[in-house]
Amino acid sequence: MTQTLSRRRFVKLTAAATALFTAGGKAQLGYAPSLTYPAVKVANVAQVKTGQPIIFNYPDASAPAILVKLGKPAIGGVGSGRDIVAFSALCTHMGCPVQYEGGRFICRCHYSMFDPAKAGQTYQGLASSWLPQIPLRIDGKGDIYAVAVAGLIWGRVKNV
């Protein structure tokens, strides 16, 4: 038995597939607005020096993270130079700690590298997922707050 797809049915299916794809894309990137993240003060802009990372934990005590001022504009960067960013410090390959060095994040377990200016894009090594970025907000006093996680922190089924 052969069935033909009516134009109306085709449009409905296409719309449903588009909605599903869009929702899936958001989930994969970790932009889950239904999650309630805490706002945690990390530092003040006066304390942040170019190329000198600040270690903190976010969104809880078992989630190491790194804030760094890159000295050049970055995707999601805050501050007057749009160059202050933060990321999970756990490599997306097998969870080893990453270190900021020479303008990039490096995992020394298997030498994956991530670009902090490009939202944590992986560009070398075994890691196939980008390093989860931690969106930041600055208040009127220059205090920098971590406010969410864009991506799934390694080893977790949910961030919060």
Q: Is 97 in the site for ligand FES (CB under 6 A)?
A: no
Beta bridge partners of 44: 143
Q: Which of 96, 138, 147, 160 binds ligand FES (CB under 6 A)?
A: 96
For residue 93, indicate whether it is catalytic.
yes
Q: Which of 85, 127, 144, 153 binds ligand FES (CB under 6 A)?
A: 127
Q: Which of 58, 93, 113, 134 is catalytic?
A: 93
Q: State in angstroms the smallest separation of the CB of 123 from ligand FES.
A: 12
Measuring CA to CA, which residue among 152, 139, 160, 133 is closest to residue 70? Answer: 133
The 99-118 site mask, x for binding ligand FES (CB under 6 A), equals --------x-xx-x------
And the tokens for 8? 């109306």
Q: Is 155 in the site for ligand FES (CB under 6 A)?
A: no
| Residue numbers annotated as active site | 93, 110
